Each structure stands twice: as C-alpha cells, then as structure tokens.
Structure 1
Amino acid sequence: MSGLLGRLGGWCARHGRWVLALWVIVAAALMGGSLALGSPVSNEVSIPGSDAQRAHDLMAEGFGPGYGTGGTVQLVLYADAALAAEPRKQALDDSVERIERLPNVVDAELRPSANPNIGMIVVRLEGHDTTKTAQTAQTIAKAADPAREYGVEVVPADNSTPADKEIKTGPSEIAGVLIALLVLVLAFGTLVAALVPIFSALVSVVTGLGLIGLLGHLIDVPKQAGIMATMIGLGVGIDYALFLISRYRRLLAEGVPTVEAVRRTTSSSGGAVVFAGGTVIIALSALMLGGFPLLQTLGWITGLSVVCAVLTSVTLVPAMLGVLGPKINALRVLKARGSEDSGWGGLAQWVARRPWRVLIGSVLVLAALAAPALTLKLGPLGDSYAEEGTTTRRAYELIQTGYGPGANGPLIVVADGTGDAHAVRQALDEVPGVASVGPAKLNESGRSVLVQVIPDYAPGDPRSLDVVEAVRALELPGAKVHVGGEVAAMADVGGRMVERTPLVIGVVVLLSALLLLLAFRAPVVAVKAAVMNLISLGAAFGALALVFSLGLGSRLVGMDPPVSDAMLVEWIFSVPIDNYVPLMLFAVLFGLSMDYEVFLLTAVRQAYLKHGDNRRAVAEGLGSTGRVITSAALIMVAVFVAFIAYPDPLVKVFGVGLAVAIAVDATIIRGFLVPATMVLLGRANWWCPRWLDRLLPNLSVEGHEEHTSAPRELVDAR
C-alpha cells in the first residue's frame, strides 16, 4: 500500500495545479448544489420494534387528521392578568381563528391551566412538510399577533425530538479554525505551512457538507449530522495534513527534491493517515449495529466527513506541496525548531529509563480520572436544561407552572384491541404517578383507544420511567397497552442501547485491532492499542460525569439545570446525558484515539526497523512525534472546545467529551503509558507467529521500501 500511495502522491505533486483546481470545483459544485436544491433534514426519530414506535404507528392509523402524521405545535400563553378577562379573551379567540385559517392546520384549541395567567393553544397539523416544523411553529406564532397586542406573551413550545433541533453553524467553526491556525504557526513557524492544513480541511468539510446536504433528498438526515460532520471533519482534516507536512518539511531539510519528498511523505505518513482514518470509519460504521436509526445515520454520515479528510490528505495536500515546493517555509514568523527542541526527546529518554514507575503512575492518574464515570447519569435531556432566557426554556417553565411538571413530557397511550374508552381511562387513573388523564378518542374501527396521560414528574425525573412501565403493565381484557411520547421513547432507547452496547463495543475493538494487525503485523501491538484506547475512554466519561452528572461545570458550558423541578436534591445541578450519546461517543473517541496510536507506532516501527533496539526505538519514536502529536491534539481540542458554545445540549456533551479524551490521550496515554508498556514488552511488541505472518496481506503502513537494508529478522520481528 505504501508504494501505491507513494505513486499517487508523486502524481498529485507533478500535476498539483490540476488536482487543486479539481478539488475546488468538486467542493464548490457539491456545496452549490446543496444550497440551490436545499438540504432537507428529517424530524422523524423511529425506534423499530419498540413499544413507543408501536404506539406511534397505531396513533397514525384511524384516529383522524393530525394524529401521528402532521404532529402538533403548542403556543404557550402568559399575561400579567387573567387570560379569560376581556379584552384578552377576545384577542385569544381571534388568534385561534387566524391560526385555523393557515395551510395544513386541522384545528386549534385554546386550553386553560390551573394558573389563570397561563394558557396554551394546541394546533394539530396534517400534510405539512415535517422537515420544516420550526418554520411552521414561527408562522403559527405570528398568527397570534392579536393576542400580543393586548399584552399576552406567546411562546412556541419546543415539541421536537433530538433530531429536530436546528443547529446553525458559524462562530464556533471560525473560532476553532483561528485557534488551529495559531497552533499551526507555533508548530511550523511559517504562515504558508500553517495555512495549507487549514485550506485542505476547509475543502474537505465543504465537500462533506455539500454531499450530506444532497443526500438529504434521498435519505432521512438528522439535523445534527452536519454539525457532527463539521466537528470531526475539521479536527481530523487539519491533523492529517499536519502529519504529512511535518514529514515533508523534514525531507526537504535533508535535501530531498520536492516531488520525491512528496512521494516519500505520502508513502509513509500517508499510509498512517489512511489506516488512522480507517479506524475512525470502522468505529463509526459499527454504530449500524446499535439498533437506533438516528444513531446509525449519525454514525455513517459522520464517517463521510472522515473519508473526505483522508482523500484530501493523500491527494490535495500532496498537490499543494508539489505546487509550493520549498516555498512551504515562506513567510516565517517564528524561529525554526527541531523536534528535539520540544522536550519530547528528553521525556522519551526519561520514560525509557524508568518504565515501571511511569506505568504505575500513569495507571493511578488515569484511574482517578475515570473513577467519576461510575456516577454518570443517563436520561432524557429535555428542554428544562436549555439556556436561561431562550424561548425553549421559557416555554418549559410556563408549562410546568401552569400544567404541572409532567405536562412537558406527556405519555401517549394507545390501548389496542378494545373500544371501551371508559375502562381505559379508569385503569389509567389508578396508576401510581399519574397526575391526570385526558379525554379518550376511538379510532375509526372502534377497536383502539387513544389517551394522553400526564405524569406527576418531569421528563428528566427517573420516576417518570416508572410511570411508563406501570402503564405498560396494565392488563385490560382483550387489549394491549402501548405507550409513546418522549419519555417512553427515551426509555426504549435506553433499553436498546443496553442490549446492543456489548455488540457494538466488541465489533469496534475487534475490527480496529484487526486493522492495526494488518498495518503493523504485530498481534501484541494491536491488542495493546485497543486496551489503551479503552483506558482513555474511561477518562473521557469521567470528565463527562464531573461536568454534567455531578454538575461541577454544567453552568460553565452553558447548561442551566432547573432548580425548581421536583427532583432529588443531590441531582439539583446535574444534567442527564441522553442514553444513545455514550455509545456514539465511544465510537468517535475510539477511532480518534487510534489516530495518535497509529502515528506513534509508525515512528517507533520505522526506528526499530533501522537498528533493532526496542528501547531506543521507543525513545526515538516518541521524541520525533511528540511535538507533532501534541500540536495535532491541541488543534483538535481547540476545535471541540469551540463547539461547546453551541446552544444544542448534545453538541455541548460531545464537545466536552471529545476535548478531554483527546487531551488525555495525547499526553498521559501516548506520552507516558504507551512508551512505558512498549519498553517493558521489548521485542514481544513486534512478534508475529510465522503462520499468521503468511496469512496476513502485506499492507505496509510505514513504507518498507525505505528500509530495504533492514535484516529480515528485524522486519519480521521473530
């Protein structure tokens, strides 16, 4: 593979301007097409085979327009005086009439609350574009202007699922890119060298976003897909280009001609990029086994951004290097420094001399970082955790005050197989934890009953899950009770995640280890790398628990937990994490952590093939890559931290988890733990049974053609 990549890199270097123009045209065409045709996103979140999904499907069958098909929009109302008093009452009636005249509106109902100052207009829809729920809600809210003229506050409630949240890009990407540029200038010392990874990553991200936007016309694409692809694509795109340029500049300094330097760079570091990207893609693709369509789609669409980053790294970057040649070192702003000046060379020697102490110390530190993960709190991340002052948070608080905490997460109950509405309502009234039961509705066949149930507890309260289970356990003659709604759906997601998590983790670890085995032909190295990545994941989840579950930093990242919910005191400042988030974080983090493992092992392997001294090879590998890996990690951490500013809670959780994991991985794991274990294992690192060696294809990641003089016993490490 190294030879193939070398030829590709050399060709791109010789035809640099054509390759550069082609990439710009492709990126502009895809993004232009996406902007011109639109980028549809799906509001549908299905959980095939779940009870909540069955309730939703039954609700859509035979209960009339607006049930389960078009959805509903809620306008929460508040005034300083009673809403029922004139002239506010007449203004509200006028607003309802105007809303009912809007397209796709089936009906609009004004519902009072126990608080005379708070009310709600519930609008049922049918036939509208479900990808435009947010815009539809704003249009409906605008129609309530007559009420506003009489001092009534009208707040659209956010009834959306996690896939509905509209995420607008802009400031976070700019901040991440600017910080990355600063780190690159410090790493390279020249402005030209710093700008090449930025340009390559931006082309990659634009290409990926354009492709994702067009895919929205063919498949259901959740709104988070674009932002997740941007986060991951920007980070890995800059990092991969950074590794290639670092190698290229070293070869230029040795006097290697431009095209040959590009060929060698793509042959060696390009191979590491391909394998590193492959591990990320494998980890994300394993989410297809999660059994949750939202998770599956987010996984493989995010993987597209990594594919684009790898392709630009092995084609566009070599093309730009070929065009620039020695000018890559132009516009110097800082004095050039070698890798040994970074201090990593000295650290490598220090670690190699005392591996046992370093190993024990690293394990203790990582165990302390991972310990809080035992307190990780999973559950629905509702609108009560939105930023204070937002319409989402305002609507949630008004509903809670007027209708009770459970009104923010009503249960949709469908009793299938019975037409006795009275018996269904009576049975639901007797369920512990039920605050109220709404009117019952029969379907057209008269064999199913639909009822809305309001629990005593807020959606984020663990006791609301007990109510769901209690309702599902009801026994009605000849009928089966199904429960839908946000709380029930998240309960089903949690159960599905518990069921599928071992499978996903097993597949990710196994396939990633297999890919490393193909890359380095060393079983011990492959298994050890998988174990090290799992250790770094523990630290990431520990940080998430500290910030969100224990609430030590939730307000610092813009999460404002409700202090008035009827919840346990110890959770009053905590923020739950959606059940599917840890599994996706695992896949993303495992893949990204493997990146640095591949780059470090590549350098160690190259040194080992030259002289066969394992301890010396570990020290040289860490010394030569430490500064580059640190710079790459700083860039990725900066990108992820910048995205914490997003208002969407899911993005905040990912930003914190990814930033902490990468920081720990690039310092404690790669700087201390991995070198210490490799020194202790000695030649066993590169041992490979002869029978396995014969079975494995020769997919060199470090460019064996540059080490043809190495003795056979060192190449095979037998």
Structure 2
Amino acid sequence: MRGLGRFCTRRPGWVVTGWLLAAVAVAALVGAFGRPVAEDITLPGSDGQVGRELMERAFAGSGNGTGQLILRVRDGSLADPGRAEAIAVALAEVRAHPHVANVRPPDAAQGTLGADGRIGYATVEFDVISREVDRALAEGVLDAAAPARAAGVETVGAGALARPESGTRTGELLGLAVAALVMVVAFGGLVAAGLPLVTALVTLLCGLGLIGLAGHLTDVPSVATTLATMIGLGVGVDYALFLLTRYRALGRDRAAVVATVASAGTAVVFAGGSVVVAFGGLGLAGVPILTTLAWTAGLVVLLAVGAATTLLPAVLTLLGPRVDALRVFRRPAGSGRSRWGRLAERITRKPGRYALLTTALLVLVTAPVADLETGQLDFGNNPPGTATRTGYDLLAEGFGPGINGPLTVVAALDPPAGDGDGRIAALRDAVARTPGVARTRPAAVSADGRVAAVRAEADSAANDPRTADTIRALRRVTVAGADVHVTGAVAIRGDVGERVARRMPWVIAAVVLLSAVLLLLAFRAPVLALKAAVMNLLSVGTAYGVLTAVFQWGWGVRAIGLDGPVPVEAYVPMMLFALLFGLSMDYEVFLLSAVRDAWRASGDNRAAVRDGLAGTGRVITSAALIMVCVFASFILSPNPIIKMFGLGLAVAIAVDATIIRGLLVPATMALLGDLNWWTPFHKAGRGGSIPASRIR
C-alpha cells in the first residue's frame, strides 16, 4: 500500500486521467448499447425451472418477451362500435411496431375479455427475449395504442410492457445533499467536503455502466442496479471520508498522502474485502438472483476501494494545501475527540452496566424477528397510482386475482401424443379439478407430441400463501405416461423461497467464518475476531426485527408509501445479512485498528479502548450518518423491495455505529481486558509486524 501511495504521488496526472478516461469510455459504451434489465427469476434444478426449459425447447418463441396491453372503459363496453374500431386500429399500429411478432386481441372465447366487456387485454408477443424488451420498446408499443386512447379507452401495460418503477432519483439527490451537509460540518470547507462525493460519483459511473453492459450477457434485474447505487454511494463516500480525515491529520504534503494510503488505505482494503467476502458467501445459496445481486454490489465496492486508494490520493497530491480551500467555518480543534473521550471514560469505568443495557435494548429491537415469515411480492404490493399497480388492479378486477400470477402445468409425454390422445384431456381435467384452481386454458401440444402444457389461474393472488398450496397440489397431479411439472414466475419464486430457507444457515455460517478469518488475519487476535462476528450478528438482528415490525406487521408502513402490510421478499433477509455483515465489519476494522495501535503504545487495555474510541468516534459517526442518509433516501423508491433494503440498512447502520460500536464494543473490550489481545501466532502480544492503521 505504501508503494501504491508513492505511485499516486509521483504520477497523479496519470491516475486522474486514467479514471476519467475509464469513466468516459464506460459512459460512451452504455450510451451506444444501452443497459437492458430482465426481471425473470431462474432457479436451476428446481421443478419450476425444469418446466420452463421444457416449454422453451418444445414451443418456439416461448422464451421471448410477452406483454399485455390492458384496455378498459368506465362505462359501456369495449365492443361498442366506435371503440371496437379504434381498438382495431390501435392494435394494427402495435402489430406494425418493430420487434412485435404478433398481437392477439381481446376475445371472450379465449378468456381475455371480461364478463361485462369493460376490461380486456391484448397479448403482445415480441421476437426478442425478455431482457431486450427495454423501456424504449415498451413505451413505443404503448404509444402506438394512441387511437384507442383517443376513443376514450384507457390503456395500461402489464408483463413485458410494465416496466417496474425502481427510480429513486429524488431520494438519491436528497441523500447526497444531506451527505454533503454532513461533510461540510465535518471538514469545514467545500473542497474537502466535495472530494468524497466526487470519488463516489466516479465509482458509480464506472460501476453502474459495467453492470448495465453486463445485462447484454446475462439477466440483471432492475433491483440490482438500484442496490448497487445504494451500496456504491454509501461505501464510496465512507472510504474516501476515512482517508481524507487521516490525510488532514497527518499534514498537507506528499508524505502525508503516502502515509495515509499505507495506514487508512490498508484499513479500507480490509473493510472492502470483508464486504466482498460476505457477498461471496451468497454463492452457497445456489440462487442466481442472489449471485447477481452479490457480484453487482461487490463490483461497485471494489471500485470504491480502488477510487479511494488511487483517485483520491492523486487528487490530494494535486491539491496540496488547497484541500482546505473555500472554508465555510473553522471547527474547534479536538472538540469531537473530547466528547467521545468523555463517553469512552464513562463506558470503561462501568463497562458491565453499559454492556447489559445495550444488550437488552438490542434484544428488544430484534425480538420481532421471531415472527418473521418470508413470501413473495408482486405488483399488487406496489404503491397505489404506479403504472404497475394500476395494471395489476385492472387485471384482477376483470379476471380475478390469479390472472396476475398464471401457472403453467407442463407434462413430458412418453410415448409422444398422437391425434385424440386421451392424456391431454386427462391432464387438463386433473388441473381444473385441483383445489385452488379458478380456471384453465385449452392445452397446447408441441409439434412432436412430446410436451403438453395447460395454463391455469389460481383463485388467490400470487403473494397469497394459498397460491403456494395450489402449486403444491398441482405438483401432485398424476397422468399415466406423463411427467408433470409446474412452472411460471410465481412457481419459480416459490421454489426460490424454499431453497433460500434451506440454505440460509449454511450461508450465515460461511459468511461469519470467512469474515472472522479475515479479521483474524488483520489483527491476529482470535477473541477479537469472534467478538466482532457476534456484534455483527446483533446488527443484522436489528434489521430483521425492524423489517418484521414495519412490513409484516404494518407498523408505520403507510408512512413509507405502501397501503398496508406486505410480505418480506424471500431473498431479502439473506442478501441483507451479507450486506450488513460486510458493512458492519468496516466500522469494526476502523475502531479496532485505533484501539490496537493505542494498546501497542501503552499496554493498558482500558486506556487503549478510551483512546481508540476517542480517536475514531467522530469520523465513524460522521461516516455512518452519511451512509444512513443515503440508505434512508431509498425508502422513497416505489419498489417495496428497495424500501426493505433501504430501511433495513439505514436502521442497522445507525444502530451499529452508535449503540454497538460506540457503546457495546468498548464495554465488552473493557470487560475482556488483555484477553482481547491473546494470540497463538507470536509470543510478544504487543509485537508483530502488522502495519498500524489508526484512523483519526
């Protein structure tokens, strides 16, 4: 790291130019090729995935994008002469739109026209796969339906034509504004306050661009880019803040830059590494969407570490003393340190009391997790008034709740079906008689007769637990000479939930073990590593407790834009665990680095705890406040899953940086005494060759 610091000070222009060229190149590629997203969820080896693959092999084009153009009139009927003619013209315009392969108009015989004739939908089939039906294509198709709207027919998109509202631009700007204010207060000057924002934005530009380009090669859901934005802003600002704080404490020259990269930069690398290691543990889940969320967020974290340890030192070299330019006010020297010093003195004087009280508070906040039950969300859980929610409600009104989560019963036939094969009728009859099935469509048979498929609709909504019961009942359907599977988005998402529940303990164990090993390598102290893992679990528990109380129980859920309780999406707890375990380790590394340095200097454990907390308290709370503001701003997103991530992360980081790192960790370290520093790796407990990484 010291060598990296020297390179950045000797060639600062090269480093800055390299980052700017990379950002411009990525932005140009994204502008030329776009950033496709795909909302389909896959799960290799599951019954639902087997059924989907059978469909894709047997029926040409079944893997292509399909959407519904919902048509609704408030009075009369869609079949009224003037309206019917306008709808026909509109559908002809849609059919002529690029990449539209076929349009099937509303038809009562096909079950796509409501009983009263007010609501119907046209099925729009594309000649490209789902992830290539981007927002521009979907909006173009909806615009082509203008003749129907001119005749008073409301048109709304669903399926591939419903682009999920995950935009959080207002929230992001609000979070950045608050972060900028916090940094102005922390540094006192506009230039110093702006540097962490600049490095974070460069990180985001490169990271989101690369993630978007990867969407051409693999399925990347829209939630992945939003989550990467959330994490990128948080850690990008935080890592730069830690380095900048250390640099200003050491001086304003090139030697200070090198020393900063060698000390604070090392801590940032360990902190970022702990986040990436936590994400790596998600690979054990065997769930592609979790793997995607992990590598996209991990990529942004790696770029944030790179920008903080190369771009920022190069800019600091170029600025020199001008880093303090545009000063707004002067902060009294040592004011933050003295306040944290007084708190540290009180904690180490009566550590047992602080440990007991903080533990009781954390247990209270975590208690609701005992009632946590995961499920699956659908567009019916989106805030009222959003396009996706409107389309969902219209379809449910016209055709029942099951229309929004159709199920496909797929049967592999052996021997292949011939004309008048009784197995086809038997399959449809068995599906129709299954408890919970509201209606079925005519069976489709592949050209070679080897696969038959029956579409079914449940009498309950996709996120209703009764739909899961219906899927299980359909999977028990037996027809002689047929191997039956149940597929569809709802069925596969249910399979995801079951796999996540089975593998959650293994993922937790792996992440805890890997993170503890990383801390062990950093500090060579087994007790510290084990204690850090326990503290991080407490942080995760508070997030789970809050998610249960707000989203499942409905406490204050309307205040965040939803109209009632919603299920906690099945993969959210596992992803939150990895995120929080990694991010919590950041503050643990920074705090323990300072405590260890003080202990090496004095050999007095309690004095070291006091000095470590006094020296890092202000910068850790400033960094946490920035991260909390960034995460909380994403609660404004219309997507309930993003709201869950935003609220869970914001609450957990706030608790972690104040109650856990500010109170519980110092109290437990004071109680443990020299046992904190016991190590089997070398004889001299205060010796060792690990470079200091104290953050002041």
Q: TM-score range by the shorter chain?
A: over 0.9
Against the structure 1 CA distance between its residues 91 and 693, is the aligned structure 2 distance closer, same or farther, given a 3 Å change threshold?
Answer: farther
Against the structure 1 CA distance between its residues 42 and 432, is the aligned structure 2 distance closer, same or farther, given a 3 Å change threshold?
Answer: closer
Against the structure 1 CA distance between its residues 370 and 129, is the aligned structure 2 distance closer, same or farther, given a 3 Å change threshold?
Answer: closer
What residue identity is the alignment partner of 2:194? L
Q: 1:581 aligns with which of 550, 554, 572?
A: 572
Q: Distance in 2 between matches of 1:479 and 1:699?
A: 67
Matched, 1:279 2:274: yes
Shift of 1:467: 0.3
Match of 1:83 in 2: 78
Against the structure 1 CA distance between its residues 152 and 402, is the aligned structure 2 distance closer, same or farther, given a 3 Å change threshold?
Answer: same
Check conservation: 1:520, 1:701, Cα contact below 8 A: no
Matched, 1:68 2:63: yes
Q: Distance in 2 between matches of 1:273 and 1:339?
A: 24
Per-residue CA distance 1:173-232 (angstroms, 9 max, x = gap) = 322221111000111112222111111211222222232233334444333332222211
Q: 2:438 aligns with which of 435, 440, 445?
A: 435
TM-score (norm 1): 0.90
Shift of 1:507: 1.5
What residue identity is the alignment partner of 1:430? R
Secondary structure in structure 1 of the residue aligned to 2:411 = strand
Q: Distance in 2 between matches of 1:638 and 1:555?
A: 20
Match of 1:456 in 2: 459
Secondary structure in structure 1 of the residue aligned to 2:57 = coil
Which runs of 5 or more structure 1 residues have no equivalent in the other structure? 561-572, 707-718
Matched, 1:541 2:544: yes
TM-score (norm 2): 0.93
Secondary structure in structure 2 of the residue aligned to 1:41 = coil
Match of 2:494 in 1: 491
Matched, 1:702 2:688: no
Per-residue CA distance 1:118-144 (angstroms, 9 max, x = gap) = 112122333466422544433333333
Match of 1:152 in 2: 153
Match of 1:12 in 2: 8
Matched, 1:655 2:610: no
Against the structure 1 CA distance between its residues 69 and 264, is the aligned structure 2 distance closer, same or farther, given a 3 Å change threshold?
Answer: same
Q: Distance in 1 between matches of 2:581 and 2:44?
A: 27
Q: 1:601 aligns with which of 592, 596, 605?
A: 592
Match of 2:133 in 1: 132
Q: Distance in 2 between matches of 1:138 and 1:291?
A: 35
1:42-121 alignment runs, 5 A limit: 42-63=38-59, 65-102=60-97, 103-110=99-106, 111-121=112-122
What residue identity is the alignment partner of 2:133? K
Match of 2:406 in 1: 410
Shift of 1:422: 1.1
Match of 2:370 in 1: 374
Q: Distance in 2 between matches of 1:467 and 1:273?
A: 50
Check conservation: 1:339, 1:624, Cα contact below 8 A: no
Check conservation: 1:283, 1:508, Cα contact below 8 A: yes
Check conservation: 2:204, 2:233, Cα contact below 8 A: yes
Deviates more, 1:23-32 or 1:681-690: 23-32
Identity among equivalent pairs (%): 47
CA RMSD across the alignment: 2.3
Match of 1:37 in 2: 33
Q: Distance in 1 between matches of 2:138 and 2:216?
A: 23
How many pairs does the alignment contain?
680
1:505-524 alignment runs, 5 A limit: 505-524=508-527
Against the structure 1 CA distance between its residues 127 and 691, is the aligned structure 2 distance closer, same or farther, given a 3 Å change threshold?
Answer: same
Match of 1:568 in 2: none
Q: Distance in 2 between matches of 1:169 and 1:44?
A: 22
Q: Distance in 1 between matches of 2:318 and 2:601?
A: 32
Q: Distance in 2 between matches of 1:170 and 1:388?
A: 19
Match of 1:215 in 2: 214
Matched, 1:468 2:459: no
Matched, 1:196 2:195: yes
Match of 1:184 in 2: 183
Check conservation: 1:633, 1:666, Cα contact below 8 A: yes
What residue identity is the alignment partner of 2:449? G
Shift of 1:390: 1.8
Check conservation: 2:101, 2:127, Cα contact below 8 A: yes
Against the structure 1 CA distance between its residues 260 and 125, is the aligned structure 2 distance closer, same or farther, given a 3 Å change threshold?
Answer: closer
Shift of 1:699: 7.5
Shift of 1:312: 1.2
Which runs of 5 or more structure 2 residues have no equivalent in the other structure? 107-111, 418-422
Shift of 1:297: 1.4
Shift of 1:698: 7.5
Per-residue CA distance 1:513-568 (angstroms, 9 max, x = gap) = 111001001011011111100110000111111221111122222223xxxxxxxx
Q: Distance in 2 between matches of 1:479 and 1:700?
A: 65
Secondary structure in structure 1 of the residue aligned to 2:558 = coil
Check conservation: 1:76, 1:119, Cα contact below 8 A: yes
Match of 1:331 in 2: 326
Match of 2:420 in 1: none
Match of 1:383 in 2: 379
Check conservation: 1:10, 1:318, Cα contact below 8 A: no
Per-residue CA distance 1:331-384 (angstroms, 9 max, x = gap) = 222232344545211111110011111111011000011111223232111111
Shift of 1:166: 6.0
Secondary structure in structure 2 of the residue aligned to 1:555 = helix
